[in-house]
Structure 1
Amino acid sequence: MQVVDAEVEKKEILNKYRKLLRYSKPFLKDGDAKLIKKAFNTSLEAHKEMRRKSGEPYIFHPLAVAQICVEEIGLGTTSIISALLHDVVEDTEMELEDIKSEFGPKVSKIIDGLTKISGVFEYGSSQQAENFRKMLLTLSQDVRVILVKLADRLHNMRTLESMPRNKQLKIASETIYLYAPLAHRLGLYAIKSELEDLYLKFSEADVFREISFKINATKDARNRSIRRFMAPIQRELKAQGYDCIIKGRPKSIFSIWNKMKKQEIPFEQVYDLFAIRIILNSDLASEKADCWKVYSIVTDFYQPNPDRLRDWISTPKANGYESLHTTVMGPNGQWVEVQIRTQRMDEIAEKGYAAHWKYKDNGNSPESGLEQWINRVRDLMEQSDSSAREFVDDFRSNLFSEEVFVFTPKGDLKILPNGATALDFAFDIHTEVGEHCLGAKVNSRLVPLNYVLHNGDQAEILTSNKQKPTEGWLKYVKTTKARSKIKEALKEEEKQATANGKEIVFRKLKQIKVDPNPETINHLRAFFNAKSLNELYYKVSVGIIDPKDIKKFKETRSIHKTGVKGNISDATTFAREFSRLKGKKQDILFIGEDMDKVDYKLSRCCNPIPGDDVFGFITVNEGIKIHRTNCPNSIELMSNYGYRIVKAKWASQKETAFLAGLKIIGTDRVGLINDVTKVISDELKVNMRSITIDTDTGIFDGNISLYVNDKLHLELLINKLEKVNGVVKVTRYDPA
């Protein structure tokens, strides 16, 4: 048992509080320090009996979140107080009204947005999605709720070691699915990169350790390359009187891993492991000219790649990011990215929204696309009547998309998400223009509604009073505004069709003697892959779903019966029922032992085999599906449906065959296929299900689908195959 030294802890708490005040001091106004002290004491008292999973006092967490708000994001007094108090309503006896009376309505509103929704959720809903939507409702009034939440999430990720494995995966998946893209959108690049790296650390620990080790091993050589590259540029900039800082910025572990995956290359072939950043001390009036002069100096020494010039000074990104990027050929024959920006631009790039407003308050910044994005979120909140799950998907697609810049006939600039169409452009101008859109003229050429716009296009919308939205239009649009307006226009027509469809469904269920209770109807919705009940009824009404197929639902339903009784829709209910059947408290599903008690299947999307790190996911009508933790779908499942995640392990059992796939690349030669199949069939006695071979200009490319006992068996097979003469690379793939 851990011995707690109360005096040492008290001293540590005070040190952290004093550090917070030191960083806050430069911007504190009269009375602010007293308010911060009051918030600290309130939080300290509310959390006095609480400890984190690591064993440390709970107050360490709100203090750390407040420190991140000040030091790493640059927020002020209201945010510091909100950070110190962000968990008191959720975790203690304090009420929002208490916060409001003590600290005012602004702090109360932020904390309300950060407090999770309690109570019972309807079947099929997502608690994570509901909480995220609630937080965004507050964003539409005060963006600080998101910034404090990002600070909270960053500290939770930094201290995730103390959490159990299933919680680590759930929290890490949520982070990469929603919070890292959100940090990126708000311009918090340092926080975004750290969140991505921490996600990799807990989801792919071996990969993270391997890349970290290789980065450290090449650090000295990399630093020599940076110094050699920068030396002539530094001399010339100094000679021309520029006051600047030049530094080498290493690429994040997550971005290196991404490049390795996308390009299917090893670490050694990732050449752009670092970027050079030149930060100028420049007056606002001469910023743009100074950056281009420095670009000219850089390209005097090194040859630029004309396809890799990015000018975000003339047209900043929608999140306020400004910088000039070029890629040049370095002295050692490798491409090096050079980023040129001023101190103001660098602070906005690192601290995002908070820094943007700091400069805007000084009157130094023009209207940014960042406000436009916040306004789009407000519109999305007002217009969205979809489920929380659909809303999060919609919001996430807006987070990820880059921008495209399009001009009106009068020369006004419109910023739309990349992939936006002429129809999106029409709705962006005005709802009525969108609803009556026939087509468009882009650069004086007639184009259809679904024409995808490009940077620099000039578009004119053609309309007709006879035109009206159709269901097919939803396939043509990318923006939330256009989609919601089209759905709104279709709503009345759909309303009648939905009512007719509901009547048909209920009549058909009664005919086949199935009780049309809410659970049955929800299973029917999942069976036909409908996102909502209204969509199910509508599809039946218009003939997309044949009412005769409802009989197939009854037949399929009778097959999927589980030994775990009752409506199992979440992990808590599963654990209770499972413990009842096992006769002892148990919430871990042992794969290979419990098939008689629980209906579970190995997921076809990732084909897990013994030895893989896995989890169980409770589906609506197909029992439990077993997925690998690095399955392509795992991030979305854990992020949005954490309450349906079940802990699962492989049981020690008799040998069973599991389907796996191997991709083999090599140099073609006579007898190579024979040697490969000998290793598989003769040496290791593995049964093959299928083999496809393709050879082109001396390159051998084969996909083999086979049955193995477990992960070790598969790794042994890969090692043996890599030793075959002519084989260059063997990798695992999912033969689903």
Structure 2
Amino acid sequence: MSVIILKKGGETVVNDVKEGLMKKSHYLSKEEKERLKVALDFAEEAHDGQKRATGEPYITHPIAVCEILLDYNADIITLISALLHDVVEDTPVPIPEIDRKFGKQVSNIVDGLTKVEKGTFKKVEYQAINTEKLLSASIEDIRVAAVKIADRLHNMRTLAVKKVEKKVPYANETLIFFAPLAERLGLYKLQEELEEIGFGYLDPPMCQSTQTLINNYANIFVKIYNNCSRELKKEGGALIVDLEWTKVPLYESYSLLQEEHDLSNLFFIKVVTSSTIDCYAALGVIHKLYKPLIHQMIDHISIEVSPFLRQINTKVHINNVEVNFIIQSEKDRNISDAGVFALLENSLTKKEIRGLSKNLLGESIDTVKAITTTPIEFEGLISFELFQKEITVYTPKMDVISLPEGSTIIDFAFSLNPQLAKRMSSARVNGAWMPINTAVKDMDIVEILTTNEEMVSSDWLNHAQTSKAFKEISDLLKIQ
């Protein structure tokens, strides 16, 4: 294995990052390792002579991005794309050459990651154009977004070398755009690190004080966990495969503490069982041992809101302290840990990959593109719709509708069924009559009442928050 020898500060430094990369690829087949090595050599040659702001050879960056994805056991297409993600943008190598050497899937991903020529675009417009290009490519192949998230994480890890005036905007964009995108893909470890680094740059004192609060309460919670662990193992026996305690990520903890000052909501005891059915048995054991709090049990196994969060949440009283539990099967924990890469199999067809991509990103990208005329408009609306905190709203039959926070009954109705929505005359929320412009809240149960006539009016546009509702209403009004 070749190594890169650098002369820096009068000292010879042996860079063995290539060897380290190949060692981390141990889960790949022999043929896949060969393909990865070819891509690594190609990227190294393409970036030859280029340096990062850190003074390191540029190739260390795509290697670091690839290593982040190797930690998730990413597929070979993703890994090759990670190594080549800056080749077209920063070197003379064109997309057709990537296509010839590495195939259409890789070239499409690299193309989606390559920014457009800057030209005469103003900074805000240029950023919006590239945001639209990235998301449009991601809806075709979710691996575009995965590589971009890993790219952003490595850049955040080395953000200290940037000029002071660039650090805060870069960190802010990370918190607003890239961390929520990572959450969409179930890449929770990457999301947590993106948020923690970004928070540290945006508000260092608050970041430190929040971390101190968490650390102090952790000492108390560990004692609660140790007692629970003994009792659960004794009572639950073979039901329980694993027990661990976990905490809410730092930045999310800060957000929660702004709403309420209850530190107990920042910590969880996770109970892992061997099967889904055992999750319910474990829930029974927990509720037998400890007094459950009313209306605090949420079943995201039978009512799934995300393939990465199939679990039961419950809250109980233990010695006058409220304690949160997560109950998950071993299979679902593994999927949660692997995120999107648990769903990406090498055998997936182009159509299946697009289906998976649309399932994870939803319809927002297509609908927002249909109702906006400029990239700036697109970026503004998609930021609300795709990256706003998501709420779960139910029909009376307990069908799940996921909406951006701030959505109204009108948005709920069009997301549920546009044909039903256009005949909506009134609605009940949790059994109470409410105006259809009422904002719905997380866990609300909404019932839509209809007539035989279409009820859509231009006033509905003033209260529609989602692109789907806005487009459907606009189209109906044009027909009228």
The answer to whether the superposition gives a TM-score over 0.5 is: yes
Report the number of matched residues: 463
Superposed displacement of residue 34, structure 1: 2.1
> Once the two structures are superposed, what CA deviation does each residue of 1:667-714 show, in whole Å capped at 9, x if it has no partner?
xxxxxxxxxxxxxxxxxxxxxxxxxxxxxxxxxxxxxxxxxxxxxxxx
Aligned partners of 1:423 and 1:450 also within 8 Å? yes
Say if 1:401 and 1:327 are closer, same or farther in 2 by CA, change over 3 A.
same
Identity %: 26
2:371 aligned residue: 384
- Out of 437, 450, 470, which is 2:437 matched to? 450
Q: Secondary structure at the match of 1:248?
A: strand
SS of 2:324's equivalent in the other structure is strand
In structure 2, the CA distance between the partners of 1:475 and 1:195, relative to structure 1 (3 Å rule), is same
Q: What is the match of residue 65 of structure 2?
A: 65
Task: State the match for 2:423 in structure 1.
Answer: 437
Identify unmatched segments of 5+ residues in structure 2. 1-6, 349-354
Query: Partner of 2:451 in structure 1?
Result: 462
2:392 to 397, 404, 409: 404
Instruction: Go from structure 1 to structure 2 and tell me whether the alpha carbon gap of 1:154 and 1:92 turns closer, same or farther (over 3 Å shift).
Output: same
Q: Partner residue of 1:116?
A: 115
Secondary structure at the residue paired with 2:378?
helix
Give 1:324's aligned amino acid: I
Determine helix, strand or coil for the equivalent of 1:8. strand
Checking the alignment, whether the CA contact within 8 Å between 1:326 and 1:338 is kept in structure 2 is yes
Change (3 A) 1:412 1:271: closer
1:278 equivalent in alignment to 2:268: no
Which residue in the other structure is 1:42 paired with? 42
Matches within 5 A, 1:480-519: 480-488=467-475
Distance 2:106 2:12 in 1: 31
Q: 1:478 aligns with which of 465, 469, 475?
A: 465
Partner residue in 2 for 1:3: 9
2:312 to 317, 324, 342: 324
Are residues 377 and 18 of structure 1, via their aligned partners in 2, closer, same or farther at CA, if it must alter by over 3 Å? same
How far apart are the structure 2 equivalents of 1:482 and 1:377?
11
| DSSP-derived class of the 1:126 partner | helix
Structure 2 distance, partners of 1:378, 1:177, is 17
Q: CA deviation at 1:273?
A: 4.3
Give RMSD over aligned pairs.
Answer: 3.3
Pair 1:161–1:119, CA change in 2 (3 A): closer
1:492 is displaced (CA, Å) by: 10
Q: Which amino acid letter does the alignment assign opposite residue 191 of structure 1?
A: L
In the alignment, residue 279 of structure 1 is paired with which amino acid? V
Query: What's the CA shift for 1:205?
Result: 1.7
Indicate the residue corresponding to 1:633 in structure 2: none
CA distance in 2, matches of 1:452, 1:209: 35
Q: 1:313 aligns with which of 301, 304, 325?
A: 301
Q: Give the TM-score, by structure 1 length.
A: 0.57
CA distance in 2, matches of 1:245, 1:35: 38
SS in 2 for 1:120: coil
Q: Which has the higher contact order (CA 8 A, sep 6+)?
A: 2
Q: How far does residue 395 in structure 1 lie from its aligned partner after superposition?
A: 1.8
Cα separation, partners in 2 of 1:119 and 1:171, compared to 1, 3 Å = same
> Is 1:338–2:342 an aligned residue pair?
no
Shift of 1:294: 0.6
Greater helix content: 2
Matched, 1:294 2:282: yes
In 1: Cα distance, 2:218 partner to 2:417 partner: 54
Letter in 2 for 1:113: G
Which residue number corresponds to residue 254 of structure 1?
Answer: 251
Distance 2:212 2:244 in 1: 22
Q: 1:98 to 1:360 in 2, by over 3 A?
A: closer
Partners of 1:115 and 1:389 in 2: CA distance? 19
Aligned-pair CA distance for 1:169: 0.9
Paired with 1:262 and 1:433, the residues of 2 have a C-alpha distance of 36
**Residues 208, 343 of structure 1: CA spacing in aligned structure 2 closer, same or farther, 3 A cutoff?**
same
Distance between the aligned counterparts of 1:211 and 1:441, measured in 2?
A: 42
Partner of 2:80: 81
Task: Report the Cα distance in structure 2 between the residues aligned to 1:476 and 1:210, rounded to whole angstroms.
Answer: 40
User: Which letter maps to 1:424?
Assistant: D
Counterparts of 1:410-429 in structure 2 under 5 Å?
A: 413=399, 415-417=401-403, 420-428=407-415
Shift of the alpha carbon at 1:422?
A: 4.5
CA deviations 1:210-229 (Å, max 9, x no partner) are: 44355456655543332123
In the other structure, the counterpart of 2:168 is 169
**Equivalent residues in 2 for 1:461-610 (5 A)?**
461-464=450-453, 469-470=457-458, 472-488=459-475
In structure 1, give the amino acid aligned to 2:248: K
Moved more, 62-71 or 185-194: 185-194
Matches of 1:170 and 1:290 in 2, distance apart?
47
446-455 or 384-393, which deviates more:
446-455
